[in-house]
Amino acid sequence: SQTIHQWPATLVQPVGSPLSLECTVEGTSNPNLYWYRQAAGRGLQLLFYSVGIGQISSEVPQNLSASRPQDRQFILSSKKLLLSDSGFYLCAWSVSTSSSYEQYFGPGTRLTVT
Binding segment toward another protein, per CB under 8 A, in 11-19, 69-77, 79-87, 102-110? 102-110
Q: How many residues make contact with another protein (CB under 8 A)?
A: 24
Which is nearest to 42 in space by CA: 17, 60, 56, 24?
60
**In this structure, are strands 73-78 and 10-13 parallel, antiparallel, or unpaired?**
unpaired
Count of Cβ atoms closer than 10 Å to residue 84 Cβ: 11
Please say whether the dihedral angle defined by the alpha carbons of residues 83, 47, 8 and 55, taken in this order, is positive or negative: negative
Query: Judged by CB under 8 A, which of 80, 102, 112, 114 binds another protein?
Result: 102
Question: Cα 113 to chain center, whole Å?
Answer: 17
How far is Cα 109 from Cα 86, in angstroms, rounded to an integer?
A: 10
Q: Does 56 bind another protein (CB under 8 A)?
A: no
Query: Judged by CB under 8 A, which of 42, 54, 69, 83 binds another protein?
Result: 42
Q: Does 108 bind another protein (CB under 8 A)?
A: yes
Q: Does 74 bind another protein (CB under 8 A)?
A: no
Q: Does 1 bind another protein (CB under 8 A)?
A: no
List of residues contacting another protein (CB under 8 A): 32, 34, 41-46, 49, 57, 88, 90, 92, 94, 100-108, 110
